[in-house]
Amino acid sequence: MTPERYQRIRAMLDARQTDLTICMENVHKPHNLSAIVRTCDAVGVDHVHAVWENYKDELRRGTATGSQNWVKVHNHENIQDAVAALRNSGMQILATNLSDSAVDFRQIDYTKPTAILMGQEKYGISDEALALADQDIIIPMVGMVQSLNVSVASALILYEAQRQRELAGMYQGPCKVSPEEQNRIMFEGGHPIFAKACKRKGLPIPQVDEQGQIVADDEWWAKMQMNKEAWDQLDND
């Protein structure tokens, strides 16, 4: 890994907002999934949540290609499990929904730990999800159309959250990502060829030093250079 690559990844990690996230409920169109995850990466969101059917099929179709290497997607079987996980992290739950109790999305304090629920393209957020939310929010519109594309709406809300957090100095200061996660991302993002081989051979992730270089013992390097068959034979001897 070059020094420039290391510094770029380091700067990205330092700006990560670990208490801001999106939860996508049955958002299924690949271009929308890709756009939402890409925006999350752009504003420093490192984990997103999703509830959908056949999610593995969606991921295999190349959802969020590129951004998926930097933003981890957590999949849930139902919206109740997803919201429970978010609440356990101390997050306020916002739902994009046109209702009598909805407020302008810019009136929300996004410096608090926040999860934003985004609904399915055609039908929006389910009644089950709305019942679990703390607050409905809307994006004011003065035209004839009463809704925006889900990825566009996500971007508007996330950039308002970024604006507030930037003013509050939340993009500065110590890195909020755990040391283990930092090391994993640094290894996978800075040494992708070794990372693929490591996963294929079932090797543990090595440490990456402050210069971005791999720190591993001779045994790890020896197994990295072997093919899997030779390694298995060595272990069986």
| CATH for 24 | 3.40.1280.10
Residues 196 and 158 grouped into a single domain: no
User: Residue 136 and residue 92: Cα distance in Å, rounded?
Assistant: 11
* 100 CB-near residues (< 8 Å, 6+ apart): none
Find out whether 22 is annotated in a ligand binding site.
Answer: no
User: Residue 196 and residue 99: Cα distance in Å, rounded?
Assistant: 47
For the sheet with 20-25, list strands across it.
72-76, 47-51, 20-25, 114-118, 92-96, 135-138, 103-104
Residues 107 and 78 grouped into a single domain: yes
Query: Could you list the residue range(s) of the whole structural domain that residue 192 is in?
Result: 179-236
Angle, in degrees to the nearest 10, between helices 192-201 and 228-236: 40
Answer yes or no: are the C-beta atoms of 194 and 214 closer than 8 Å. yes
Looking at the DSSP bridge assignments, the partners of residue 124 are 120
Answer yes or no: are the C-beta atoms of 184 and 205 closer than 8 Å. yes
Find out whether 96 is annotated in a ligand binding site.
Answer: yes
**For residues 60-91, b (16+ Cβ closer than 10 Å) or e, as one string?**
eeebbeebbebbebeebeebeebbeebeeeeb
Q: What is the mean pLDDT of the chain?
A: 86
Please tell me the predicted confidence (pLDDT) of residue 144.
Answer: 76
pLDDT surpassing 70 at residue 78:
yes
Average pLDDT over residues 77-96: 93
Range among 13-17, 123-127, 194-198 with highest mean pLDDT value: 13-17
Residues 142 and 74 grouped into a single domain: yes
Residues 27 and 57 grouped into a single domain: yes
Mean pLDDT is lowest, of 67-81, 98-112, 180-194, for 67-81
End position of a domain, from candidates 167, 201, 227: 167
Residues 162 and 226 grouped into a single domain: no
- The confidence band for 26, taking pLDDT boundaries of 50, 70 and 90, is confident
End position of a domain, from candidates 167, 187, 217: 167
Find out whether 138 is annotated in a ligand binding site.
Answer: no
Residues 93 and 190 grouped into a single domain: no
Q: Mind listing the pLDDT tens digit for each residue in 41-64?
A: 999 999 999 997 655 544 444 444
Where are the extended beta strands (E) located within the chain? 20-25, 47-51, 72-76, 92-96, 103-104, 114-118, 135-138, 207-208, 214-215
Question: How many domains does the chain fold into?
Answer: 2
Total residue length of the chain? 237
Q: Mind listing the pLDDT tens digit for each residue in 95-143?
A: 998 888 899 999 999 999 999 999 877 778 889 989 999 999 999 988 8
End position of a domain, from candidates 142, 167, 192: 167
